[in-house]
Amino acid sequence: MTPDPVTAALPPVPLSVEGASVMHQMMRFRRPEWRALSTMVRSEIVREAVGALTATEHAVEGRQTAVYSLLGHKGDLMFVHFRRNFEELQSAELHLARLGLGDYLAPTGSYLSIVELGIYESTAKVYGALMERGLQPYTEQWKQEIEGTLDRHRQAMAPRLWPEIPATKYVCFYPMDRRRGETKNWYEESLSERQRMMEKHGAIGRRYAGEVRQIISGSTGLDDWEWGVDLFANDPAVFKRLIYEMRFDEVSAVYALFGPFHVGVRVAASDIGGIL
């Protein structure tokens, strides 16, 4: 079927709103050097680290740092920072590096992103309404109308844009892309077709409400992948079940590419000394 002229002329980019700036830092602990220190020196380093991490352990106006003990060979610790902007992320990164503990941490990876909520459901309606009013895409009036729409969504979605890191026992973090190959290219699909697939895809996640909390962050132009995904749960088997079920969905089966997975156990700031 040939789409009507209005639908065919709609911009292909779905609207989205952004919130918290996010950084994941994966670290290796320099255990041999740590063992070489005296008990007194180790205790002082731990005391300083506990004080610094306790100050940001709980969310205050969108600012928070959580610590996870990673399972497997990809690192020992993962620090997850949520901040208001990139300047604050840089301060958090430098603050960690300047701690005495920072001398015994070697980075194995990191990921930079911004909490993102796509509004596929509203995009086509908003675009279509503006074009029916005679507004052409990307004109100043068009941009003003779009910004007004985004402002309303930012206010309505504020709790999701500036989330608190869930106080669950486990986290699963991974980056992902949409396929841009020669035969299958997500970005060549129409806006309406992508919306249809995303609605079906999202229905799977909603079935796991109460078992797992998901926070999606966008990273196109910021890091090596297009999105970062954090899953939080008290039962790690939920990660496997959810992601496995999504593999049968069209969005994942045909268009998704996944990066490395990191799974960690939440560590209270006061317990940092115990895992060192």
User: What residues contact 8, with CB distance under 8 A and at least 6 apart?
Assistant: none
Give the C-alpha separation, 227 to 2, whole Å: 32
**Can you read off the two tokens belonging to residue 48?**
């300083």
Question: Side-chain half-sphere of 267: how many Cα atoms within 13 Å?
Answer: 23
Examine the residue annotation and report whether 174 is marked as an active-site residue of this protein: yes
- Contacts of 259 by beta carbon, 8 Å cutoff, 6+ apart: 174, 175, 176, 177, 224, 225
Instruction: Sort strands 64-70 and 262-267 into parallel, antiparallel or unpaired.
Output: antiparallel
Distances in whole angstroms, Cα of residue 208 to Cα of each of 104, 167, 235: 39, 17, 12
For the chain, give the longest Cα–Cα distance: 75
Determine the number of helices (DSSP H) and then strands (DSSP E) in the chain.
11, 9
Positive or negative: CA dihedral 137, 140, 142, 146: positive
Q: Quote the DSSP letter at residue 119.
A: -
What is the number of residues in the chain?
A: 276
Catalytic residue among 104, 174, 208, 255: 174
Distance CA 85, CA 19 (A): 9
**Residues involved in catalysis:** 174
